[in-house]
Amino acid sequence: MEIENGTKSDLVLDSKFAQIKAKLVKQLPLTLRWLALMLTTTAAIGMGLNKQRKTAVVAIVGTKPISQTFTAEFQQTTAFVYFVVANALASLYNIMFVLLRPCFKGKENKLWIHILDLMIMVIVATGAAAATSMAELGKNGNVHARWNPICDKFDAFCLHGGMALIASFVGALDLLLLSILSLVALHRSVQGQELVSLSV
């Protein structure tokens, strides 16, 4: 009797774990989507508001020093502009997806969702790659082209840009996971259709 009770409670516990696990797995795509939305928005806003001004004395005329303001902003570099645009596009896509999700639950939409997911991931990844190459150039310079590094002078600019880059990289990884999940969902829906047609 006691052994029977023990096995019965074990079975109940296992099924409870299975239920919790199934619920978590069901929420995974939406969680990843929210995470991607937050990361890409952070990256776009972080780089979009990236600006640093520095005033330096460039000459002394008589006794009067002449100072000039040097500005480092993201619009000066084409790669950073593309970075902001790519991340803004991705966050817009994620917002639209989260808002319009109830409309697109059908099986025929899964292919389009997967293709769009792939496209957005590639756009974010290229933006991050281009901005990273520019950031590396800004940090280390290029001796042979006589390009001096600027990160020692504009440290806040480099720091904010670096954080936006990290957010974008994690967002690209997240979008890759979402693409894989949508591909698996597409495969499952197609397999389910096949089984239905076979059984009919």
Partner 1 sequence: MKTMSKALRGLSIFIRIGIAAACAAAAIIMATSHDSTSFFGVTMEAKYQYTPSFKFFVIANAIASGYNVLVIFVPAASPFSGLVIMSDTIMAMLLTGALAATGAISEMAKHGNIHAGWLPICRQIPAYCDHVSGSLISAFVGLIVFVVIILCNIYKIVSLDLHVCH
- CA pair distance 64, 162, nearest whole angstrom: 38
Comparison of 72 and 164: residue with beta carbon closer to partner 1: 72
Comparison of 21 and 54: residue with beta carbon closer to partner 1: 54
Comparison of 1 and 143: residue with beta carbon closer to partner 1: 143
Interface residues toward partner 1, by CB under 8 A? 70-72, 76-79, 111, 114-115, 118, 122, 125-127, 129-134, 136-138, 142-148, 150, 176, 183, 186-187, 190-191, 194
- CA pair distance 87, 66, nearest whole angstrom: 40
Nearest Cα residue to 180 out of 28, 62, 8: 28
- CA pair distance 69, 23, nearest whole angstrom: 57
> Two tokens at 71?
């500005």
> Two tokens at 43?
């990256």
CB of 174 to partner 1, least distance (A): 14
CB of 145 to partner 1, least distance (A): 5
Comparison of 37 and 125: residue with beta carbon closer to partner 1: 125
Query: Which residue in the block uniquely carries the two structure tokens 């001004």?
Result: 53
CB of 170 to partner 1, least distance (A): 15
